[in-house]
Amino acid sequence: MLSKTKIAELSNVQTPFYYYDMDLLDQTLNSVKKESDAYGYKVHYAVKANANDRILKTIKEKGLGADCVSGYEVKKALEIGFDPRGVVFAGVGKADWEINLGLDNEIACFNVESIPELEIIDELARKKGTVANVALRINPNVNANTHHYITTGLEENKFGINQWDLEKVIDRLSELTSVRLQGLHFHIGSQITDLTSYKELCLRVNEIQKWLLGRRIFPEVINVGGGLGIDYQNPDGNPMPDFQAFFKLFNDILELKPGQELHFELGRSLVAQCGTLLTKILYVKDGVQTKFAIVDAGMNDLIRPALYQAFHKVENLTSDGAFSKYDVVGPICESSDCFGKAVLLPETKRGDLFAIRSTGAYGEVMASQYNLRQIPQAYYSDEF
Ligand X SMILES: *Cc1c(COP(=O)(O)O)cnc(C)c1O
Residues in touch with ligand X (CB under 6 A)? 46, 48-49, 67, 69, 90, 187, 190, 225-228, 265-269, 361
Residue 90 or 254 having the CB closest to ligand X: 90
Q: Output the smallest distance, CB 270 to ligand X, in A.
A: 8
Residue 226 or 305 having the CB closest to ligand X: 226
Q: Output the smallest distance, CB 48 to ligand X, in A.
A: 5
Rg (CA), the chain: 22
Residue 78 or 188 having the CB closest to ligand X: 188
Residue 268 or 313 having the CB closest to ligand X: 268
Residue 139 or 348 having the CB closest to ligand X: 139
Q: Is the dihedral of CA 46, 48, 50, 56 positive or negative?
A: positive
Q: Output the smallest distance, CB 66 to ligand X, in A.
A: 11
Q: Output the smallest distance, CB 264 to ligand X, in A.
A: 8
Establish how many alpha carbons lie within 13 A of residue 125's alpha carbon, considering only the half-sphere containing its beta carbon. Answer: 23
Residue 292 or 308 having the CB closest to ligand X: 308
Q: Output the smallest distance, CB 218 to ligand X, in A.
A: 23
Q: Output the smallest distance, CB 324 to ligand X, in A.
A: 35
Query: For residue 212, what are the contacts with CB-CB under 8 A and spacing of at least 6?
Result: 170, 184, 218, 219
| Cis peptide bond prior to 258, omega within 30° of 0 | no
Q: Output the smallest distance, CB 151 to ligand X, in A.
A: 11
Please give the C-alpha separations between residue 338 and each of 58, 113, 229, 298, 348, in angstroms, as whole numbers: 32, 36, 23, 8, 17
Instruction: Give the Cα separation of 83 and 60 in Å (integer).
Output: 9
Residue 17 or 89 having the CB closest to ligand X: 89
Q: Output the smallest distance, CB 128 to ligand X, in A.
A: 25
Residue 246 or 326 having the CB closest to ligand X: 246
Whose CB is nearest to ligand X?
Answer: 267
Q: Using alpha carbons only, give the angle 85, 88, 89 rounded to the nearest 5 degrees.
A: 140
Residue 199 or 325 having the CB closest to ligand X: 199
Q: Output the smallest distance, CB 267 to ligand X, in A.
A: 3
Q: Output the smallest distance, CB 225 to ligand X, in A.
A: 4
φ and ψ at residue 97, rounded to 5 degrees: -65, -30
Report the Cα 229 to chain-centroid distance in Å: 10
Q: Is 237 buried (19+), middle (13-18) or exposed (0-12) by CB count in 10 A?
A: exposed
Residue 46 or 329 having the CB closest to ligand X: 46
